[in-house]
């Protein structure tokens, strides 16, 4: 009990900046490291496509890590007198429709961005095919990763991050959250820029304006679900073949 009391005192003495750094390291430090490492390996060789084998075991490991990390973060924030209301977790079914709209807007912006880069010869079909995924998972692990990961990322990167930096200009908050989001998605290669920039901007702008976290979480979940369907049914390849 004395050790816990001592730890709690240390936590309470943390400055807001130190608290922010600790939460981000716990939340995304490992993912940023592994993603960055993969990015440099993948982009060191463009002579062939890289295939990531996604397995149920790897997804279970991620889910376990995120649950434990989130519990640690929640403990730290409770000791520092954060409240549940600070995360704007109020839910109504109307928010589901807003989530679908966010996903639609994000996809439209992403597709326009891709077309612009394609027309200017910045990217082509090989950019997408450079990093591919081999789906070797069951739907239980996929369901868990969609639910847990969507809640995990947006609670920390939107709910917590925006509240902690609420005194600063929204452009700075949205920009920094976007950079962090990019950093742990770089394993996807350069194509991640096209996907993540619209996601970060749309989610960040919506949350700043409306302070509703569930539409962002649900939109994230739907987007991941579509990505898994694409990996399973190879929608992009079929559309490309039609062209």
Half-sphere exposure of 129 (CA within 13 A, CB side): 9
Phi, psi of 238 (to 5 degrees): -65, -40
DSSP letter (8 states) at residue 47? S
Mean pLDDT of 187-206: 86
18-64 pLDDT, tens digit per residue, is: 999 999 999 999 999 998 888 777 665 555 566 667 889 999 999 99
Position 164 pLDDT exceeds 80: yes
Q: How many CB atoms lie within 10 A of CB 124?
A: 10
| pLDDT in the model for residue 189 | 72
| pLDDT in the model for residue 129 | 65
| pLDDT in the model for residue 44 | 55
| Helix 30-42 vs helix 170-183: crossing angle, to nearest 10 | 60
End-to-end CA distance of the chain: 66
Mean pLDDT of 68-86: 96
Question: Residue 135: left (phi > 0), alpha (psi -120 to 50), or beta?
Answer: beta
Mean pLDDT of 69-77: 97
Q: Greatest CA span in the chain, whole angstroms?
A: 68
80-135 pLDDT, tens digit per residue, is: 999 999 999 999 999 999 999 999 999 999 888 888 877 887 666 666 666 667 77
Q: Which helix or strand (DSSP H or E) is residue 199 part of? A: helix 191-210
| pLDDT in the model for residue 211 | 95
Q: Which residues of 149-179 are buried (b: 16+ CB within 10 A; e: fewer)?
A: bbbbbbbbbbbbbbebbeeeeeeebbebbbe
């Amino acid at each position: 009990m004395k050790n816990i009391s001592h730890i709690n005192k240390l936590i309470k003495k943390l400055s807001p900046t130190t608290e922010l750094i600790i939460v981000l390291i716990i939340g995304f430090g490992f993912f940023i490291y592994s993603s960055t490492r993969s990015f440099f390996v993948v982009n060191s060789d463009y002579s062939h496509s890289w295939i990531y084998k996604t397995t149920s075991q790897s997804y279970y490991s991620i889910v376990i890590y995120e649950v434990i990390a989130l519990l640690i973060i929640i403990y730290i924030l409770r000791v520092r007198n954060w409240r549940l209301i600070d995360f704007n977790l109020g839910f109504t079914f109307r928010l589901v429709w807003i989530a679908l709209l966010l996903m639609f807007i994000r996809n439209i912006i992403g597709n326009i961005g891709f077309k612009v880069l394609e027309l200017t010869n910045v990217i082509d079909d090989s950019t997408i095919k450079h990093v591919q995924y081999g789906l070797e998972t069951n739907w239980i692990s996929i369901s868990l990763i969609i639910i847990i990961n969507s809640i995990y990322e947006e609670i920390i990167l939107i709910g917590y991050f925006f509240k902690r930096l609420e005194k600063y200009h929204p452009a700075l908050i949205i920009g920094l959250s976007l950079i962090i989001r990019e950093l742990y998605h770089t394993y996807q290669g350069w194509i991640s820029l096209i996907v993540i920039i619209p996601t970060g901007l749309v989610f960040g702008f919506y949350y700043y304006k409306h302070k509703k976290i569930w539409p962002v979480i649900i939109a994230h979940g739907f987007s991941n679900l579509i990505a898994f369907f694409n990996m399973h049914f190879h929608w992009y390849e079929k559309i490309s073949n039609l062209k």
